[in-house]
Amino acid sequence: MTTTPGGPFGLQWTDTRRIAALGEPLLELQPADDGGVHLAFGGDVANSMVCLARILGRDAARISVVTALGDSTYSSWLRERLEREGIRIVEPAVEGEPGIYGLPLDPSRHSGFSYWRAHSAARTFLQSADLGRFEQLLGEPQLLLVTGITLALCSGESFEHLCRWVDRHRDGCRVVFDCNFRRRLWDSEAQARDRIGTFERLSAVIATGAEDERILWGAADTAQIIRRVSRLSAEFLIRGGPEGCWVGSGTECRHVPTEPVTVIGDTAGAGDAHFAGFMAARISGLDRADAAAYANRAAAVIVGQRGSAPKDGAGFPPLPA
């Protein structure tokens, strides 16, 4: 398989107007103060695209999510919520339901998330998609977001077809990849390392975090993470939570600290907002370090609320001129 980095020749960040994400928006169950459960939406690509649309503004770019939401009333509810944010949903006709996940009922006990997504419409689509289907649905984006969750939902054959699509379009599309490793979605860690490692080599920008690096690549500290990602032909963003982040390309790397924030509930969606903030800032013309600083501020908006997608009234800091 060709593994030429997905960096578009001649396309500047500030030229980006057509943005797409490939993956799975989800229904999100949020614990409510009254002991009940509130229905919302989430999923990594949906979170990032909503944040990106809020930050850039509706007229700045055409933002799409390529997925399958199914044909139920919950499918319609989720589709309408995303379209309300100015996001275009591009999908084949697939029967079924959206996947569901639940935020921890008691975050103080450090319980994990709950998932009901094994037979979701998006998984059905991603398991069977071939190169022709990717060509039809993805179109000609100038920036494409893919995550480790997207790769985990693919079959072996559809993953190969996605990589071929990236290779075909590498001169016109900047591929950005967020690791987002979720162990229960993979047959094995070896399978995850193989696909994620392959896709990192195809990507122009990668985002990762300390816990994913420890599990997948055995990184004991940030220095080891930097050594690994600096060998890739990609711009990289390493999330460090309260320590801020590290951003760079090749041997160039800079630490960008963040301000302390109060976490409300949990940190679900913070990494998605962080990467969205970084992309939005780069598209607006900021350099890597300033974009990383803005990404820290964007993530703080999400950890200061409950739920992984920004609330209706949530506002992001204005992008620096």
**Domain membership of residue 175 as a residue range:** 13-303
Q: What is the value of pTM for the model shown?
A: 0.94
Q: Look up the CATH number of the domain holding residue 131.
A: 3.40.1190.20
Q: Is residue 316 part of a domain?
A: no
Distance CA 112, CA 106 (A): 9
Q: Is residue 6 part of a domain?
A: no
- As for how many domains the chain has, the answer is 1
Distance CA 149, CA 76 (A): 23
Question: What letter does residue 302 receive in the DSSP assignment?
Answer: H
Q: What is the pLDDT along the chain (321 residues), one digit of tens a residue?
A: 444 444 555 689 999 999 999 999 999 998 887 888 999 999 999 999 999 999 999 888 999 999 999 999 999 999 999 999 999 999 999 999 999 999 888 766 656 788 899 999 999 999 999 999 999 999 999 999 999 999 999 999 999 999 999 999 999 999 999 999 999 999 999 999 999 999 999 999 999 999 999 999 999 999 999 999 999 999 999 999 889 999 999 999 999 999 887 776 678 889 999 999 999 999 999 999 999 999 999 999 988 878 888 888 788 999 987
How many other C-beta atoms lie within 10 A of the C-beta of residue 315? 10
Q: Is residue 320 part of a domain?
A: no
Question: What letter does residue 66 receive in the DSSP assignment?
Answer: E
- Angstrom distances, CA of residue 233 to CA of 3, 149, 216: 10, 22, 19
Distance CA 38, CA 190 (A): 37
Q: Is residue 319 part of a domain?
A: no
Q: Is residue 253 part of a domain?
A: yes
Q: Is residue 317 part of a domain?
A: no
Q: Is residue 31 part of a domain?
A: yes
Contact 65, 23 (CB under 8 A): yes
What sections of 67-188 are H helices per DSSP? Answer: 73-84, 121-128, 131-138, 148-153, 156-168
Q: Is residue 3 part of a domain?
A: no
